[in-house]
Amino acid sequence: GGITAEEAQRSSHLNIVGMVGSIDNDFCGTDMTIGTDSALHRIIEIVDAITTTAQSHQRTFVLEVMGRHCGYLALITALACGADWVFIPESPPEDNWEEHLCRRLIE
C-alpha cells in the first residue's frame, strides 16, 4: 500500500535478497549467518593466547563467549580448542555440576 501499481511495475526488475547478520547463528533456516565465522575466528585467537598463559601458570580459565540464547559459538569453540567443559543453553547443566567440575579439575 505504500507504492502505486505504476511504481511497482517500473521497479519489477529489482531482485531483493535479505541476508541475516548475527554472530549468534541462531536464525532458523540458515547454515551460517554473517558474522558467525569472524566471531569464531576472533574467539579462537583469544583462546590460543589464554591457553599459553593458563599452561605457564598451571591454572584453569573459564571463558564466556557471545551467543545470547544460542550455544553454537560456545560449542564450536569447545570443539576447535579442545575444551574440557562447555555449557550451552540448549543443554543446561545437571544439578551439582559445580562439584563434578571441581573433582575433574583436581584429577
Active-site annotation, residues: 24
Alpha-carbon distances, residue 3 vs 7, 9, 18, 23, 76 (angstroms): 6, 10, 20, 34, 45
User: Among candidates 35, 66, 65, 68, which has minimal Cα distance to 50?
Assistant: 65
